[in-house]
Amino acid sequence: MKFIGIIPARYASTRFPAKPLAMLGGKTVIQRVYEQVVGVLDDAYVATDDERIEAAVKNFGGKVVMTSVNHKSGTDRCYEAFTKIGEGFDVIVNIQGDEPFIQRSQLEAVKQCFDDPTTQIATLVKPFVPADGFDALENANSPKVVVNKNMNALYFSRSIIPYQRNKDKAEWLAGHTYYKHIGLYAYRASVLREITALPQSSLELAESLEQLRWLENGYTIKVGISNVETIGIDTPQDLARAEAFLQEHKEMK
């Protein structure tokens, strides 16, 4: 199978405008993401709606494709980019443009989900551990996932699921394995075409999680497990945390 990585990157962000062009350890955030992906997948492109990002990617020698400013999700941007790049790939991997520390092992884990010929869509989770603390579990910006015995997602939520009715909350992390969603997706090409044609669903609108649209319409999402901790950059404060992380892990420079 041939895998192509597409990295959606837009300039306008409510919480952090121009985020892809923010500097992190002497390189832009988008360059760091791109360099983590190249060589792991068969090909990789940045998909953007802004000429400044396009120029920055070309400047560091990356591949880039321009897309519409009207997309409501990274998945929609990925599909437009894929149609412009052309056929020849079986699976499209959607890598968030604000994940500069995405690891080879994580990309390989999502690829392995397609060893199962029935896999339509794949994503990753990381188990919460007791040391994370209840505040991390409760964080609405960190969606949780429950899976079935075949490691297909049953539901994603910003709330804590499942709720442990007969235990004190201080014991929840010790009493059950909770999974934190890592926003890395992969789709078979035919499935990506289908899901981008779907209207927004009620569950998606309620939780502001696009993957619920796919579940609500009957698609299955295979879940791979990663134990790697990464730092997504949503705010300038996250960028400062990422800079500190980079200083502690100088091998990543």
Q: What is the pLDDT of residues 178-200, one digit of tens each?
A: 999 998 999 999 999 999 999 99
In a domain, 68, yes or no: yes
Least reliable range by pLDDT among 7-11, 100-104, 232-236? 232-236
In a domain, 139, yes or no: no
pLDDT tens-digit readout, 21-51? 999 999 999 999 999 999 999 999 999 999 9
Least Cα distance to 158 among 142, 146, 169, 179 occurs for 142
CB atoms within 10 A of CB 112: 13
Q: Which pLDDT score is estimated for 216?
A: 97
Question: What is the distance between the alpha carbons of residues 186 and 211, in angstroms, rounded to a whole number?
Answer: 12
pLDDT at 79 over 80: yes
In a domain, 206, yes or no: no
Overall average pLDDT of the 112-140 stretch: 96
Structure tokens, 208: 């502001």
Structure tokens, 4: 């192509």
For residue 11, report the phi and psi dihedrals to the nearest 5 degrees: -80, -40
pLDDT at 253 over 80: no
CB 48 within 8 A of CB 66: yes
In a domain, 162, yes or no: no
Q: Which pLDDT score is estimated for 92?
A: 98
What's the CATH code of the domain at 86? Answer: 3.90.550.10
Q: How many domains does the chain fold into?
A: 1
Q: Which pLDDT score is estimated for 23?
A: 96
Q: Which pLDDT score is estimated for 235?
A: 87
CB 29 within 8 A of CB 100: yes
Task: Provide the percentage of residues in the chain whose pLDDT is more than 90.
Answer: 83
Q: Which pLDDT score is estimated for 87?
A: 78
Q: Which pLDDT score is estimated for 250?
A: 64
Question: What is the distance between the alpha carbons of residues 182 and 31, in angstroms, rounded to a whole number?
Answer: 20
Least Cα distance to 223 among 192, 194, 180 occurs for 180
pLDDT band per the 50, 70, 90 thresholds, residue 252: low
List the domain range (segments joined by +) for residue 103. Answer: 3-123+180-200+211-248
Q: Which pLDDT score is estimated for 247?
A: 86
Alpha helices per DSSP H over the chain = 29-37, 51-59, 74-85, 104-112, 134-138, 172-175, 189-195, 202-207, 211-216, 236-248
pTM above 0.75, yes or no: yes
Q: Which pLDDT score is estimated for 242?
A: 92
Q: Which pLDDT score is estimated for 251?
A: 61
Mean pLDDT of the chain: 94
Least Cα distance to 54 among 85, 27, 30, 24 occurs for 30
pLDDT band per the 50, 70, 90 thresholds, residue 133: very high
In a domain, 92, yes or no: yes
In a domain, 165, yes or no: no
In a domain, 31, yes or no: yes
pLDDT tens-digit readout, 197-221? 999 999 999 999 999 999 999 999 9
Q: How many whole angstroms from its chain centre is CA 120?
A: 16
Overall average pLDDT of the 106-128 stretch: 97
Q: Which pLDDT score is estimated for 8?
A: 95
In a domain, 60, yes or no: yes
